[in-house]
Structure 1
Amino acid sequence: MTVHASHNNRIETIPVTTSAPPPAGHGRYAYSALPDRPVYDWPEGKRLAVYLALNLETFEFGDGLGAELAPGGPQPDVLNYAWRDWGNRVGAWRIRDMLDDLRMPASILVNSRIYRDCPGLIEAFRGRGDEIVGHGRSNAERQGTLSEAEERALIAEATAVLTREEGRAPAGWLGPWISQSRVTPDLLAEAGYRYLLDWCHDDQPTWFATRNGGRILSVPYPQELNDIPAIVARKDTGRVFAEAITDAFEEMLEQSRRAPLVMGIALHPYIVGQPHRLRPLRQALERIAGHRDTVWLTTAGAIAAHAAELLE
């Protein structure tokens, strides 16, 4: 493996020594300590890449999985279903307006049934030029519990819808509920995906080995700077979540002097689209947007494309 790093407009080929993945475990990547890796740059010599992952999801009424505002009762669980539906009807549009005001791009993680259930929603983000990322059919199901044939069919169905609607195939994928089977990376690579977002094991993109000598790039996806674990699971307030974003940004900006880093922020409209959470989120993102001259405000797909050229 080699990394081509840019220094003062010179391109150097730097060898990267890694051990083979151990026979036990996942076998997707070898251990690599961040301080031991070659240093390279993002575009324009920047070292910190920041992307927003906005999850636009749909759920089944009276059936299946779904995040809960409060412990749900017997189905149909109107309280939690309506709370999630509010995100697509109201919260997502407020977030879109905020991103417009801040001139920030986003990666839109799309359940394919959103086109059916919320006509016009994805089109509004497409009109901003945002990246559309595959995110399964709906968030009422997990793909990791399916047989290989069923999982392959789920990926194919969701990909076909996004390709038809967007005019091109999505480059990236995040499984609903961060759900993977043991063969998910293989199936995604075989379906033509160039990167996946499910793993939070690093702060830099990582090549995953797939079967038959293939590979797929893993782009870091946040589980700490993610409103579901933070607000739904840990019961953080919107202001605490926003403070975490600001603190992480300032620390990663400092750390990126030593190595290129990726900072992702994962958002769900039914959570952070709520007015009392949107205001502190806006303030945190304003802080980040104010550094656009020194950080790369981008998308997961752009990070994957740039890294794939460097990490040959």
Structure 2
Amino acid sequence: MCFCLCVCVCFRSCWVCFATDEDDRTAEWVRPCRCRGSTKWVHQSCLQRWVDEKQRGNSTARVACPQCNAEYLIVFPKLGPVVYVLDLADRLISKACPFAAAGIMVGSIYWTAVTYGAVTVMQVVGHKEGLDVMERADPLFLLIGLPTIPVMLILGKMIRWEDYVLRLWRKYSNKLQILNCIFPGQCLIVVQGIGCPVPRIPAEASPLADHMSATRILCGALVFPTIATIVGKLMFSSVNSNLQRTILGGIAFVAIKGAFKVYFKQQQYLRQAHRKILNFPEMDEA
């Protein structure tokens, strides 16, 4: 029996470096998993390097055998009280940092929204009047109401009312002859054979295909109060109230911009309706 054990030991082979007992008789061997045969034994030093590669600096990561998937039993020397406290503090800080970073990010966005809301109030109502309104208001109302101003502007910007106007225009344009006089070729979009002949009805683009970028929506929404103030001063300078002048300027800007956008999309629609595919040019035979 001793002879068999000796033969078994002599034929140990490391599955990492493929060395045997004869190559290094002082090396420490370990049997870390359920494997049998040639993958049963491995050098302690070789396995340590292999575990380091798998953990990639994270000493708490679990490592398993690549053959039998048995998890390696890795133990560490006991830590002293000071080192234990430092290690515990390091782990707690590592786990708390993502939540702290998220909180800082949310807080920064919130206070930025509050600041933007306060600036918008002073811009729309007037600097002195806006300060008086915010000083008399309840602080809790300001903390809730001011950050909702940019949120409501962004949500309002996402409402594509021009598309609904465009659908109504295409549906009832044959009944309004004045539109055909103002915009020639309008009858080409009439569906179901009513009015002028239709060369082609273009395929309706899906809402996702004609989306506006997030940055465009954000910039357009946040700059809208400034544009409304400027348009109000230019077009309604006779109005004394800053708030009324800004509201009228905003309505005028939205209406004018929407009219141009509807007209632009309609012309693109008509251009698609007149699209034509040409014959392939014939090549002269040599």
Q: Structure 2 length normalisation: TM-score?
A: 0.23
Structure having the higher strand fraction is 1
Which structure has more relative contact order (CA 8 Å, sep 6+)? It is 1
Q: Structure 1 length normalisation: TM-score?
A: 0.21
Structure having the higher helix fraction is 2
Q: Give the greater-gyration-radius structure (CA).
A: 2
